[in-house]
Amino acid sequence: MTVPRGNGRLVPAGAAPERGAVAVEFALLLPILLLILFGIIDFGRAFNAQITLTQAAREGVRAYAITGNPSDGNARTQQAVQGTSLQGAGVGTSTTACTTGSPTTLTATTQFSYVTPVSGILNLLGAASLTNPITLTSKATMRCKG
């Protein structure tokens, strides 16, 4: 048996009207969908920045191991990030002593900032928030003057 409704539709008897159900479901799922989308974007950016930082640290430790001068390693690291997503991000370096034949290490660090509101969405969902910016670190080791 069907019962006419005010808008001219016939609805089965006893069925509850579902007006607005889609809007409520969308409102409940939207933050999760945005979190996934923004998470993919920022994770990809962070992953790219980490790869770039690792390559810059490798270039820097190579220059440092060849010359034995920490400023050469720092300069080569800064040069390696030119034209990349880390350009102008303030990449800092620190080194260990360079003794002939022994390994030396160059550590490169930088700050990475999210471009999407991932931390805000996590706060909205009641999950742990992410700090913004985060510190990315990469170490490279090479035998000194060897």
Q: Which range (7-16, 44-53, 87-96, 103-112) has the least confidence?
A: 7-16
Phi, psi angle pair for 108, to nearest 5°? -110, 135
Residue 6 has pLDDT above 60, yes or no: no
Domain boundaries, the chain: 21-143
Of 129, 113, 109, the residue nearest 121 (C-alpha)? 129
Q: Where are the alpha helices (DSSP H) in 16-130?
A: 21-67, 70-80, 118-125
pLDDT tens digits for 28-68? 898 889 889 988 999 999 999 999 999 999 999 999 999 99
Inform me whether the pLDDT recorded for 14 exceeds 80: no
